[in-house]
Amino acid sequence: MNIRITQVTLLDESNDHHGSVVDIRIKDGIITDIAPKLNATKGEQHIDFENLIVSPGWFDSSVCIGEPGYEERETIKNGLLVAAKSGFTAIAVNPNTYPVTDSNSSVSYLINKAQNNAVSLYPIGSLTRNGEGVDLAELFDMTKAGAIAFGDYQHAISNPNLLKIALQYTQSFDGLVLSFPQENDLVIKGMANEGEIAIKLGLKGIPALAEHLQIARDLYILEYTGGKLHIPTISTAQSVALIKEAKAKGLDVTCSVAMANIYYTDSELEEFDTRYKVLPPLRNETDRKALIAGLKDGTIDMVTSDHNPLDIEQKKLEFDHAKFGTIAQEATLGALLTLVTERQAIHLLTAGRSRFTGEKAKIVVGEPANITLFTAKGTSTFTKENILSKSKNAAFLGAKLKGKVYGIIANNQYIAS
C-alpha cells in the first residue's frame, strides 16, 4: 500500500508539523515522508479531501460486538468495518458475549478472529467468572492471551471485597480494573433518570445517588489498595466532582463518558422511544453541562461511543421490557464536534489507547501509519442511510452533526468511509 496524502492539516502534538498543512507519504504501511510539499511517485494512491485533517488513530474504549453467541446483533467482521468507517483504528470489546469472555481461550478467539483487519480489536476480559459478580475470573491468564482490562459490562461490582482483591491482585501485572458506577440496591427495576421526566411518564427511576455512592465507595477502596481503576460511562455532575477530587489526591483513576450522555437529556423520553433507553440513563441538563465541562477541564479522560448493537426483538418493545443500549460509533465524531473543538475531540478520542494498552499512536516518520482522516467542516443530519451496523437501534437518528470521517489508515490498509 503506497499512499500520498496532500494538503492535510496534521494534528499530533508529538510531531514538529503539528498544526501545519503538509503532505504525507506512506509506503507499505510505514510513514516515510512528511513535508510541506511532496512530489508524486509512480504507482501511489493519491488522497486529497477538502478541509482534510489527519490525527493519530482513534480508540473506542467501550464497544459491544455480539459474536460469539449473538451474531444477529453484530459480527466481528462487520463490527470492525463499522469502527473503521467511523474513524476508529482500535476498539476495546466488552465481554458481554456468549460465552462470556472470561478465559484465555475466549480472549484468543476474539483476537484470532479479528486478525488481518485495519482496525485492531482489544478484548476486555470479564472481571468475574461468567460475569456473575461472585468469583474473580482467570485475570492473569487472560492478560497473557491479550486482554487489556477487566470488567463486567454494565454490571456493578456489588461486593466491595471483590473489588479490593481485584485491585490488589492486578497490581502484580499492571492490570486495569473497570467498575461500572451503579449501586444496584438503589436501582432495582429502574428504567430512566429519577426526576421530573420519569415521574411524569410513570417510569421507575434510576437515582443519581446510585452512581455517586458506588463511585465514592470505589474511590475509597482504590485509595486503600492502590492499583489502576477506570470508571466507565459516568453520567452526573457529582460524579465529575468526585473523580476530580480523587485525581487531586493522586489516585490512579480515569473515567469515560458515553456520547449519548453528553448529547441528550432525559427529555428525549417524552415519546417512550426505546432508542433513548441507555445505561447509565440520560440525565438532566445540569448533569449534561457538568459532563461537558469535565471533558474540557480534563477530569473526564475520554469519550466512548458505548456502541451496543441490539436486534429489533430487544428494542422495539414496551419501554419497561426493552434492553438498555444504542449504536453510536457512526455518529460519534459528528456529535462530539458540536460540543468541543476538533483538537479537544482528537484528545478525547485518542486518550483511551494509552490508558488501556500502554501505547500511543503517533504520526512519525519511520513508524507504522495509524491515522484517522476527517474534516471538522460542514453539517449534516444523521439518517438511516448513515447506519453501518447490522442492528439499527440508533439514538442519534435525526441528530444534527458536524464534520465528517473520511476514513482510516492502519495495519497497512486504507479504509474509506
Question: Mean per-residue pLDDT for 13-19?
Answer: 92
CATH number of this structure's domain 57-357: 3.20.20.140
* Share above pLDDT 70 across residues of the chain, in percent, rounded to a whole number: 100
Distance (Å, rounded) from C-alpha 131 to C-alpha 156?
A: 10
Domain 2-53+368-378+401-416 CATH (choose: 3.40.50.800, 2.30.40.10, 3.40.640.10, 3.90.1150.10)? 2.30.40.10
Exposed, middle or buried, 312 (CB in 10 Å: 0-12/13-18/19+)? exposed
Query: For position 316, what pLDDT does the model report?
Result: 94
Q: Sorting pLDDT into bands at 50, 70 and 90, what band is 149?
A: very high
Number of continuous H segments (helices) and E segments (strands) in the chain: 12, 18
Q: What is the pLDDT of residues 287-306, one digit of tens each?
A: 999 999 999 999 999 999 99
What is the band of 322 on the pLDDT scale with cuts at 50, 70, 90? very high
**Side chain identity at residue 269, one-letter code:** L
Describe the crossing of helices 342-357 and 329-336 by its angle, rounded to 10 degrees: 130
Alpha-carbon distance 325 to 76, whole Å? Answer: 18
Q: Where are the domains of the chain?
A: 2-53+368-378+401-416, 57-357
CATH fold match for the domains 2-53+368-378+401-416 and 57-357: no
**Is the per-residue pLDDT at 47 higher than 90?**
yes
pLDDT at 345 over 90: yes
Question: Half-sphere exposure of residue 33, counting CA atoms within 13 Å on the CB side?
Answer: 15
pLDDT, the chain, mean: 97
Q: DSSP assignment of 331-354, as one string?
A: HHHHHHTTTS-HHHHHHHHHHHHH
Q: Is the pLDDT of residue 325 over 90?
A: yes
How many C-beta atoms surround the C-beta of residue 250 within 10 A? 8
Q: Which amino acid is at 52?
A: L
Mean pLDDT over 342-355 rounds to 98
Query: CA 280, CA 236: separation in Å to the nearest integer?
Result: 9
Give per-residue pLDDT as tens, 260-282. Answer: 999 999 999 999 999 999 999 99
**Residue 152 is among the residues annotated as catalytic for this protein:** no
Instruction: Name residues whose C-beta falls within 8 Å of residue 237's C-beta, 6 or more positions apart in sequence.
Output: 286, 287, 289, 290, 291
pLDDT band, residue 223 (cuts 50/70/90): very high
Per-residue pLDDT reduced to its tens digit, 387-406 = 999 999 999 999 999 999 99
Give the pLDDT of residue 4: 98
Q: For residue 9, what is the enclosing H or E element?
A: strand 2-10
Taking a C-beta distance cutoff of 8 angstroms, is the pair 31, 369 a contact? yes
**Residue 3 confidence (pLDDT):** 98
CA separation for the pair 218, 332 (Å, rounded): 29
Q: Which residue type, as a one-letter code, is found at position 72?
A: E
Comparing 78 with 361, the larger pLDDT belongs to 78
* Residue the block writes with cell 438503589: 186
Average pLDDT over residues 101-111: 98
Within its chain, how far is the Cα of 143 from the centroid?
20
Among 60, 102, 152, 306, the active-site one is: 306
The residue among 386 and 14 whose pLDDT is bigger is 386
pLDDT of residue 14: 87
Question: Can you point out the beta strands (E) in 199-267?
Answer: 205-206, 228-231, 253-258
E strands present in 160-319: 176-178, 192-193, 205-206, 228-231, 253-258, 302-304
Half-sphere exposure of 172 (CA within 13 A, CB side): 9
- In angstroms, rounded to a whole number, what is the distance separating the alpha carbons of residues 294 and 237? 9
Check: CB of residue 62 under 8 Å from CB of residue 92: yes
- The predicted model scores a pTM of 0.97
- Provide DSSP, 251-267: --EEEEEEHHHHH--GG
pLDDT tops 90 at residue 167: yes
Instruction: Say which residues have a Cβ less than 8 Å from residue 313's Cβ, sequence separation at least 6.
Output: none
- 103-117 average pLDDT score: 98
